[in-house]
Amino acid sequence: MAENRFEQLLRPAFEARAAIGWGIAAIWMLICAVLVNAPRGTLLASAGLAVAMASWRMFGAQRLLKYKLSLSGKEVVIMKTTDLQKAMPKLGENLWLGWGYRWEPRHTQRAYEVLKRDLDDVYPPQWWLKWMGKTKDPRKAKGLPWVHGLDMKESDVLLPFESLKGHCAIIATTGAIKTRLAALVIFQLALRGDCVIVIDPKGDRDLREICRQAAVLAGHPERFLMLHPAFASESVRLDLVKNWDQVSQVASRITMVLGSQESDNFKEFCWMAVHRITNGMKYIGRRVSLYNLKTSMESRVSVEKLTEQALRKFFKEECPQLLESIEKEINASNAAGKRPVSKNAVETNSPELSAMIKVFLSEVPESHDEATSKGLPAKPEEVRGLVAILEANKEWFGKMIVSITPLLTKLTTDDLRGLLSPDYEDINDTRPIMDGKRLVEGNHIFYMGTDTLADESVGKAMSTMALAELSSVAAEIYNHGVASKDDGSQPRRVHVVVDEWRDAACEPMIQQANKGRGAGFFIWALGQTFSDLVDKFGGNTARARTFIGNMNNLIVGATQDPDTMNLIIDKLGETSIIVKSQSTGMGSKTEDVGLEFSANQSESISEKTVEIFPRSLLPQLQDLHYIGFFNRGELIKGRIPVIVQNNRPT
């Protein structure tokens, strides 16, 4: 069996030489049959035999020559969007990822055989390539063309959408394949009517135009929406804290964007403060937005105003029996010419607020049983939380907000205030107001450029909160049933494309990778190296590996990062190849009979365990070429076309 698996496809084409010889012999005998006075029947029969032998030997050489031509590589294919559109009905419930072949152990064997040789021994002569219509010299190509040519036949690479529920990670160095692959995928998703949400920390113009052109190609240009701080007038307004089932989710989104240098205990205190203020805003009927959160907690005075509004609402609507007690406290304070000096008093800038707090703490029942016996309502949790903030030490409050308010200020300054904290009552602003739920329900193609190059902290906060908003939508779909498309034909699919995970990877993204499948959410995570992901997770390699482990599909372009190569090779596994070794020996000795010579030659074939895809080939993959690991076990060597917009009418 080992002998049968050993191929010698790079040897000289001896069969071609034999075929030429038999061809010359056939021609010579035909000439002799015409010009020479000899038995023509014999000569013609000999010529026929020579032609048969030439054909047989040429047939044997054909596979070898075809293989050598295949090693010279493939030309880059430019595909028009209209051609892709025409091919869509044939794809069924599959995503087309270019052309390729399934990588088997025989390809590993061939790869290691090629790696032993110089390029001049691998590629055919340049004159022969030109004769066969090849205009480019593979020796001067970027990357190694022969990698894709290890198989002489390629076919369409089709990935079932059922497999995509396991999400997909795309790893490649800058300029290798990521943007062109995103274009190929986004165009197909748009034509299928799926919702596509692209979060791009760089604000790549090409990626933005791809999303716009995809909506136009699908026949619904209104499906395209964008948000970019540098193009505020062209952007939609996005409410990043619109969808939440529990008030605690708002606090979680805000504290997620705190710097990694903050301790966990401090983040918990910040979460508690934001939660209490959000609860208070909900209690008085104030819309929760980034701007309103900032104005409600940017100083102690702001918290006092919110608390005063909440207490007025409580005493007027729920506990009017104690209004007289509050009036007495205010009168007593005015008569004394100063605020109450009780040891339980809370110092504020408003005598009325101080009086309401004192009555609230001393006379409003704590428990439901106590409230029933007194005939008064129990302390609402919303108001109790606000009062607790004012009861706390002023210095503690100052330290707490110093980490939260700067970021909220950045997210609500200048154009960002209108973009991320939309005013629903502003009739002069005609830009649409969107949120995660409306994006999904409208099957929109939404591009969000966070402009991380201009302000890294703001960009990361925008992407984190946008992903948190989508996580809330996914949770609602998961809890209340998977929404269907408008025609009810199939479940709605939501594709979240996250470019450059170094800037965008966060806890909501991990949550969607873990649990988004049941809600019809598909994660496409793009990055340059695995090291970027480890760095994003604070150096936690195990956590980064867990995230990659949740990606059941992996597409890898050219990469040079050692950690990334180790991750990929470990994931792909190993196989065995056949190693043929030869040895020769020669010796001499002097005996009584004279000088004697001895010689020996041996040949052995053995198996050797190696990486199924050689590590050294990963940095040398050509642009637009990839190694794909799909369906938890299908290894594909593929290549994709460059998709270009066809400006001619369809």
The pLDDT, as a whole number, for residue 650 is: 40
- Tell me: do 381 and 469 sit in the same domain: no
Q: What is the mean pLDDT of residues 595-603?
A: 71
Q: Compute the distance between CA of residue 554 and CA of residue 545 in angstroms, rounded to an integer.
A: 13
- Tell me: do 139 and 235 sit in the same domain: yes
In a domain, 593, yes or no: no
- Tell me: do 493 and 639 sit in the same domain: yes
Task: Give residue-wise pLDDT tens across range 621-639.
Answer: 999 999 999 987 899 999 9
The pLDDT, as a whole number, for residue 60 is: 73
- Tell me: do 51 and 104 sit in the same domain: no
Q: What is the mean pLDDT of residues 518-539?
A: 89
DSSP string, 386-449: HHHHHHS-HHHHHHHHHHHHHHHHHHTSTHHHHHHS--TT-TT--S-EE-HHHHHHTT-EEEEE
Final residue belonging to a domain, choices 376, 400, 417: 417
In a domain, 589, yes or no: no
Q: What is the mean pLDDT of residues 219-245?
A: 91
Query: For the chain, how many structural domains are there in total?
Result: 3
> Which residue is it, tokens 């708002």?
250
The pLDDT, as a whole number, for residue 538 is: 80
- Tell me: do 61 and 46 sit in the same domain: yes
Which residues, including other chains, have CB under 8 Å from residue 317's CB and lie 6 or more apart? none
- Tell me: do 12 and 147 sit in the same domain: no
- Tell me: do 88 and 225 sit in the same domain: yes
- Which of 65-74, 96-105, 173-182, 477-486 is predicted least confidently? 477-486
Q: What percent of the chain has pLDDT over 70?
A: 92
In a domain, 87, yes or no: yes
- Which of 280-284, 480-484, 542-546, 571-575 is predicted least confidently? 480-484
Ranges 90-94, 241-245, 591-595, most confident: 90-94
- Report the mean per-residue pLDDT for the chain: 85
- Domain encompassing residue 23: 2-70
The pLDDT, as a whole number, for residue 486 is: 52
Which is more confidently placed, 403 or 522?
522
pLDDT at 620 over 80: yes
Q: What percent of the chain has pLDDT over 90?
A: 35
Final residue belonging to a domain, choices 361, 396, 417: 417
The pLDDT, as a whole number, for residue 173 is: 92
Confidence band, pLDDT 50/70/90 cuts, at residue 529: very high
Q: What is the mean pLDDT of residues 589-602?
A: 66
> Which residue is it, tokens 């195990």?
542
Cβ pair 292, 286 in contact under 8 A? yes
- Tell me: do 225 and 259 sit in the same domain: no
pTM given for the model = 0.84
Confidence band, pLDDT 50/70/90 cuts, at residue 61: confident
Q: Compute the distance between CA of residue 268 and CA of residue 264 in angstroms, rounded to an integer.
A: 6
Final residue belonging to a domain, choices 371, 391, 417: 417
Q: What is the mean pLDDT of residues 67-93?
A: 89
- Tell me: do 427 and 561 sit in the same domain: yes
Opening angle at CA 513, ends 510 and 515, nearest 5 = 105
